[in-house]
A = this chain, B = another copy of it.
Amino acid sequence: MAKPTAGPEIERLIALLARLPGLGHRSARKAALTLLKRRTDLLEPLAAALAEAASRIVACENCGNLDSLSPCTICRDAERDASLIIVVEEIGDLWALERAGVVKGRYHVLGGHLSPLDGIGPGELNIGRLIERAVPPVEEILLALNATVEGQATAHYITDQLRGRDLKITRLAQGVPIGGELDYLDEGTLAAAIKSRRML
């Protein structure tokens, strides 16, 4: 712990900023200074945006997304394909897929992955509501989970829970990322890419 050097209000601000991912104590100090120097165009708007987020943003009762509405804007969007639910671990994954803009289904955010050693079982994840949602008109459940041991274990668990229903359960393809150089890829990715090789 660094010795306090500024007043208690500034030290408290630095300590809170340092708890954000990507900011250590040193960069939190820089961020605090920037905020204090740019009071009207940064500090005050950020304080207001945080207060508004705290009071208005809620988790969607349907899919677990964060929005100022529940059900969220995506769940309410009539243009979305109602037959497809894309299951993701975290809201950041939902944002990544929306940025890519390649699929227009609805989502289901689990809030993490199964991790028995950390005490994360099915009850800790938003799985029960997914099972409820997996009924017509839903035809496909795309498990867009991380290609990690935990992500894949979670995918298996969900597949088991949905067994016997008239549903297509799919997962993301695995292989060489676009722009990827073979020399820098791990063996697991290369093995997946070779196993799922396609005819030209």
CB-based contact B49/A51 at 8 Å: no
Query: Which bucket holds chain A's interface residue count?
Result: 35 or more
Contact with B along A29-44 (1 / 0, CB 8 A): 1111111100100111
A29 pairs with B92, CB closer than 8 A: yes
> Which of A20, A23, A43, A92 has the most chain B CB within a 10 Å cutoff?
A20
Instruction: In the complex, identify which listed stretch (A5-13, A79-87, A130-138, A151-159) lies at the interface while the others stay far away.
Output: A5-13
> For window 35-68 of chain A, which residues contact chain B by CB distance below 8 Å?
35-36, 39, 42-47, 49-54, 56-57, 66-68
Q: Quick one: copies of this chain in the complex?
A: 2
Known interface pairs A27-B21, A42-B19, A91-B33. Does A49 touch B5 (Cβ–Cβ under 8 Å)?
no
Contact A53:B66 (CB < 8 A) given known A3-B99, A21-B30, A99-B3? no
A46 to B30, CA, bound (A): 16
In Å, the complex CA distance between A96 and B43 comes to: 23
Name 24 A/B residue pairs within 8 A (Cβ), A-sorted.
A5-B94, A7-B67, A7-B68, A7-B72, A9-B68, A13-B49, A13-B50, A16-B49, A17-B20, A21-B31, A22-B22, A22-B31, A23-B23, A23-B31, A30-B92, A33-B91, A33-B92, A36-B57, A36-B66, A36-B91, A39-B54, A43-B50, A46-B50, A51-B51
- Residue ranges of A at the interface with B (Cβ–Cβ < 8 Å): 2-3, 5-7, 9-10, 12-13, 16-17, 19-23, 27, 29-36, 39, 42-47, 49-54, 56-57, 66-69, 72-73, 90-92, 94-95, 98-99, 101
